[in-house]
Amino acid sequence: MISRAELESLRIVGKIIIEYPNTGQKKVFLTEHFDGTIVIAKIVKSGDERVKREIEIVTENSIPNVPQIIELKEFTNISGENFLCIIEEYIEGDSLQERLSKTKLNLNEGIKLLRTLLEISLVLEKINIVHRDIKPSNIMCCRNTKFYLIDFGIARVLDKASLTMTEARIGPHTPGYGAPELFQYSKKNIDIRSDLFSIGVVLFEALTGEHPFLSGDELSMDEIWYKTKTITPKEYQIDGDTSKQLISFIQTLMQKHTTRRPPSAQKAFDWFEAVLSTLEMKGD
């Protein structure tokens, strides 16, 4: 993979402010672009089909609360390797994962997060896309309590050929947040309801401060998958949810079988709006 110094010397990006830890075959930098704006620069090797699909998803569709791709640059390093630089809108703030390491969300914040994720799912359902990796580290929290969903790197486009072999034993997902049909790789059952499951897990964790299935001391992926598939989340009383309509909705999103979740993103959103009238909301 290309080095920071080489990247700057080739003038692919402007001044590098932060080099983030490596994530697989991708290098990510916070940079000051040549026009003075602060952007995210992602460097990947050319020809990666998942990266191509991620770019297509973001550039060809208008998805709310998803960082926009500003520019694409192809280049060759001094060793003759071909790379792609993706210049992306920078969302200032912390990830939800970082936020939850300090404190859980209050009811107002949780409702804003839930609305954002459901509104994104409405659009994804219409364009036949499943994100497959909704989790706290892929959600950015801005200081104005606006939330963004990032990283469509393992998203599934339902009306295009799959990039994962049909005979694969385990499908792309993050253990602990992926629905059972994702880690069991039941292709015929993967649709927007898989994202609704992940949204339920994220909201449960964000509002209660605890993961619905995991304790954090699991010793293997097999144990995580087993608990995700078998454990029923504890009953919780969320402040302001006196009639327990919100926690009931979240628990339904997390049902193990797809047929027991809301049948569509629209039905989930309609249910969410009905729940709002039962909550005792406080001012921001």
Cα dihedral 140, 22, 131, 244 in deg (nearest 10): -50
Contact 64, 77 (CB under 8 A): no
Alpha helices in 86-191 (DSSP H): 96-100, 107-126, 180-183
Residues 6+ apart with CB under 8 A from 134: 117, 149, 177, 195, 198, 199, 202
In Å, what is the CA distance from 89 to each residue of 35, 58, 213, 248? 13, 12, 34, 36
Catalytic pick among 35, 133, 222, 270: 133
Single out the residue of 137, 257, 107, 139 nearest to residue 189, CA to CA: 257
DSSP one-letter code for 243: T
**Cα–Cα distance for residue pair 282/108, rounded to 1 Å:** 7
Residue 133 falls in the annotated catalytic set: yes
Q: Using CA atoms in the order 143, 147, 153, 155, what is the torsion angle rounded to 10 degrees? A: 180
* Helical axes 245-253 vs 192-208, angle rounded to 10°: 140
- For the annotated catalytic residues, the residue numbers are 133
